[in-house]
Structure 1
Amino acid sequence: MDAFVTRKRPRLEPTPAEDDSTEIKLALLASLHPHINHDVLLEALLVADGSVTDAAETLAQQVASPWKKQKTRAAGYHQSSLSSLRISPSSPSVGSVRPLTKRGRTLHLFDPKDVEAYTPCSIIHNFLPSGQADDLLRELLDQAPTYGRLEFKLFDRVVKSPHSFCFYVNSLAEVETQKTEYIYDGKPVDDVRQCTPEMLKARIPIEEAVNREIQRRIRDFYPNGKKLKYQSPEPWKANAAFVNCYDGPQESVGYHTDQLTYLGPRAVIGSLSLGVEREFRVRKMVVEDDEHRKDDGSLADAQGQISIHLPHNSLLIMHAEMQEEWKHAIAPAQAIDPHPLAQNKRLNITYRCYKEKMHPKYTPRCKCGVPTVLRCVTKSKDNRGKYMWMCHAGYVPGQDGCSFFQWAEFDDDGNPRWRTTPGEEKKVE
């Protein structure tokens, strides 16, 4: 009997070839595990690098244990926690977790442990007391009809943002400073407001939670338990916030990275979601080489994408590796479940930590006389991870901008090293 129990499991038949389609492999898995959801089967297959045998054995080990399932309100989608498939890393660190996404695929994550293991984010559900979250939502719903849409020039066309937004700071003095001294997309912002009472009230627990998550991220995920190069060791403070309003399932925002100009490198952002649940999608940026290029020559979605579901009153922390290495988006939805207070609206507050050392009075000015924008090289293999100052006056409708370019320099803690003499300017090809 002992020999029977301990002997190696016989290989499953039929064994699919490596080039069999995913549909065939899923059909084989479904025949072996007919009661397991299709999406869980796909996750197991991705983890097993396409091996039906390995995926089936992993699933078989879990049959006797209860599945942790969660359901999205909109689509009735079920997913077991990836940790229930025993695929969460035992000692996670940046770059050590095998990616689960494949080209052209979307992996949906719900469990906070899965989110922090496979993305540069962490999430806290039911963050504020329910009454406080509802009071904050009511305040923002009252102001949302007055929000504007950003108008900017993109590839010689004037476009508007596909959702409305407003910018808030903590005091009236900061409102005046933002209006008179700061530049966004090549021009000043006229509509800057003081945070509402409920926003100021929420700021305190958000600061505490973000700082706690930053330290946990460093301890549990970063190499040798040390902060990343250029990451600030100073406490994170929520001294500015953009509030975005998505009114209805089709309002969205495409893949992008957030500007680092006033945040500095390796910035951390805390985003509180209120109202309708929406999908927050992330995808890792890859270098321009033949290994990652798709058949049409593009790099978009070269490694697939991950969808993080953001219910009402959830706090998402985008950690220090997010803006330089990943892009994020709010995808359009085919259908949404209305929220009792917000109806079809989702409002999210993206709290940011503005650095005094990154004030525009210090940043280089381009030939247009405008403080420049800070960008990070993400596609070039040779310069990936370097920072640069560039003109962004060309985003303003009716203006062309200039060719200003200057490499940005920072110490290991992300403090800028300003040049005492103007740097060499050259045109960026």
Structure 2
Amino acid sequence: MDSNDTDTLLALVASLLTEKRPDPDTILEALVQCDGDVEAAANLLNGKADIKTKKRKRVGLETWLEKSSKSPRISSDGPSTQEESRNKPPSSSTHTRLLPVVDLMSVLQPPPSPTKKKLVQLPPLLLINPDMVAENTPCTLHLSVLPPELACKLFYTMIAASRSWSRNKWWLFDRVVESPHRTSFFAREGSGPMQEAAQHWYNGRMTDPPSAFPFAMEEACEIVERVVNEQLKRRQRFPLEWGAGDTDGAWRANVAASNCYEGSKESVGFHSDQLTYLGPYPTIASLSLGTQRIFSLREVIPADEVNDRKARTFNIPLPHNSLTIMHASCQERFKHSIPPQQAIDLFRPAFPETPGADIQSSNCRINITFRFYRPDFTPSCTPRCKCGIPTILRPDMKNRSDGKSDRYWWSCYAGAQNDGKGCKFWKVMDMKAEGRGSDFHS
């Protein structure tokens, strides 16, 4: 068997095999036993004969020297016996039929490389009680937080007020879009500069002066404040959070955004709240009144973990008179939404609007989000972009770290109201240089 044709013979034998393809060493052994006869070697490997593996003898130095002395030498008269065998034409059995050409690499190719790890997409998880909410999210759920009569009174008050609320409009991708729910804003009496902040509450657009807290909202706010501050005493605080390391760092709701979702289709998409006046790691208390809706939370996976895990959606049913507290890190780690639903249950208040009046069912949900606008993030110290409009503050959600060195940036948002045009202003927030947090002096 000519050593120069070994690879070709291996490929030819492999092309004739009908059984499982053996490794190249086995094919070579079969060729040796069959004196280079391709068909005979193929028949042998296809099971028509047994392969008799030759067992090599251990050869010592003396045996090797003895064989070397007996090996034929090249004479001057002509070629040696080995040279004659090399020049001898190949066996005619290799030319009995025309064999197809086989790519050697297809025979000897290595096994396929391991595929990229497929990440498991976990289904949405329904969190049906306060324990499940606290275990899976940076939120706490508090049921029946207000006295029942006060909850109904506040619901009636806000339903009546919502008839004059508007739907926000802003520019998005060169067109004007409208929010799929009605909304309004309120400022607490004595909130001082936060009255001005409330006018900048949406997309950097100066809005009408906010309304004062109605009496029923003020009553509810005092209860909500107590619940929130009790929770904060039990939680570990973040370095940039308001009140961290300060015994007098109480949470005081000085503004409130209120939304009305009428029917099952009015909704709001996934978003995180702007931190312009809330500052880093805010606490937001969201009161739900009226018909029950689903509150969805979904984590934003950091850039260095996107190849290891996928985000999961958590759905929390929010019944009437329930309080959801979005604690510190919720706005930095999660986005939230109120998705549309196929159907909802009508809400029937436990008390009439006025004594003796009939109780009317409602398909509306009123949401009041009580917020604490920090004194070190007042409108007067908000950077302005080149458009001359106050910027907004956002967290770097994709590159968050340990809660100590997380980044936030100020960016232009004039395009939301200025025909979609802005100046692309961008600046990293520096708490120390801007005199905020522990460096703030009122």
Q: Which amino acid aligns with 1:260?
A: L
In the TM superposition, 1:199-210 aligns within 5 A as 199-210=217-228
What's the counterpart of residue 412 of structure 2? 391
Q: Deviations over 1:384-412 (max 9, x none)?
A: 9311111111110425110211110226x
Q: Which amino acid aligns with 2:185?
A: F
Give the direction of change, closer, same or farther, for the CA distance of 1:416–1:292 in structure 2 (3 Å limit): farther
- The answer to whether the Cα contact below 8 Å between 2:283 and 2:371 also exists between their aligned partners in 1 is yes
| Residue 247 of structure 1 pairs with residue 262 of structure 2 | yes
Give the drift of 1:315.
0.6
In the TM superposition, 1:32-111 aligns within 5 A as 103=121, 105-111=123-129
Q: Which amino acid aligns with 1:193?
A: S
Give the direction of change, closer, same or farther, for the CA distance of 1:169–1:382 in structure 2 (3 Å limit): closer
What's the counterpart of residue 336 of structure 2? 328
Q: Which amino acid aligns with 1:314?
A: S
- The answer to whether the Cα contact below 8 Å between 1:179 and 1:188 also exists between their aligned partners in 2 is no
Give the direction of change, closer, same or farther, for the CA distance of 1:357–1:157 in structure 2 (3 Å limit): same
2:137 paired residue among 119, 132, 137: 119
- The answer to whether the Cα contact below 8 Å between 2:278 and 2:373 also exists between their aligned partners in 1 is yes
| Residue 178 of structure 1 pairs with residue 189 of structure 2 | no
Q: Deviations over 1:333-371 (max 9, x none)?
A: 111110014611000100000112111211211101111
Give the drift of 1:158.
1.0
Question: How many positions carry a matched residue from both structures?
Answer: 302
TM-score, scaled relative to structure 2 = 0.64
Give the direction of change, closer, same or farther, for the CA distance of 1:183–1:143 in structure 2 (3 Å limit): closer
- The answer to whether the Cα contact below 8 Å between 1:183 and 1:371 also exists between their aligned partners in 2 is no
Give the drift of 1:183.
5.7
For the residue of structure 2 that corresponds to 1:366, the secondary structure is coil
Q: Deviations over 1:216-257 (max 9, x none)?
A: 233xxxxxxxx1121111110011000110000011111000
Give the direction of change, closer, same or farther, for the CA distance of 1:142–1:256 in structure 2 (3 Å limit): same
Give the drift of 1:179.
7.6
Give the direction of change, closer, same or farther, for the CA distance of 1:121–1:328 in structure 2 (3 Å limit): same
Over the aligned positions, Cα root-mean-square deviation in angstroms equals: 2.7
What is the rounded CA distance, in whole Å, between the counterparts of 1:309 and 1:256 in structure 2? Answer: 18
- The answer to whether the Cα contact below 8 Å between 1:163 and 1:246 also exists between their aligned partners in 2 is yes
- The answer to whether the Cα contact below 8 Å between 2:289 and 2:366 also exists between their aligned partners in 1 is yes
Q: Which amino acid aligns with 1:408?
A: M
In the TM superposition, 1:160-175 aligns within 5 A as 160-171=178-189
Give the drift of 1:102.
6.0
For the residue of structure 1 that corresponds to 2:229, the secondary structure is helix
Give the direction of change, closer, same or farther, for the CA distance of 1:405–1:271 in structure 2 (3 Å limit): same
What is the rounded CA distance, in whole Å, between the counterparts of 1:318 and 1:260 in structure 2? Answer: 13
- The answer to whether the Cα contact below 8 Å between 1:179 and 1:192 also exists between their aligned partners in 2 is no
What's the counterpart of residue 371 of structure 1? 390
What is the rounded CA distance, in whole Å, between the counterparts of 2:198 and 2:238 in structure 1? Answer: 34
What is the rounded CA distance, in whole Å, between the counterparts of 2:224 and 2:266 in structure 1? Answer: 26
- The answer to whether the Cα contact below 8 Å between 2:187 and 2:198 also exists between their aligned partners in 1 is no
From the CA coordinates, give the structure whose radius of gyration is larger. Answer: 2
User: How much identity, in percent, do the aligned residues show?
Assistant: 37
What's the counterpart of residue 205 of structure 2? 187
Q: Deviations over 1:250-305 (max 9, x none)?
A: 111110001110010000000110000011010111123684499xxxxxxx3220
- The answer to whether the Cα contact below 8 Å between 2:173 and 2:420 also exists between their aligned partners in 1 is no
What is the rounded CA distance, in whole Å, between the counterparts of 1:285 and 1:409 in structure 2? Answer: 23
Q: Deviations over 1:168-214 (max 9, x none)?
A: 01128759933897463121111521111100111111101001112
TM-score, scaled relative to structure 1 = 0.66
User: Gaps spanning 5+ residues in structure 2: where?
Assistant: 1-118, 244-248, 350-360
What is the rounded CA distance, in whole Å, between the counterparts of 1:336 and 1:288 in structure 2? Answer: 37
What is the rounded CA distance, in whole Å, between the counterparts of 1:360 and 1:196 in structure 2? Answer: 24
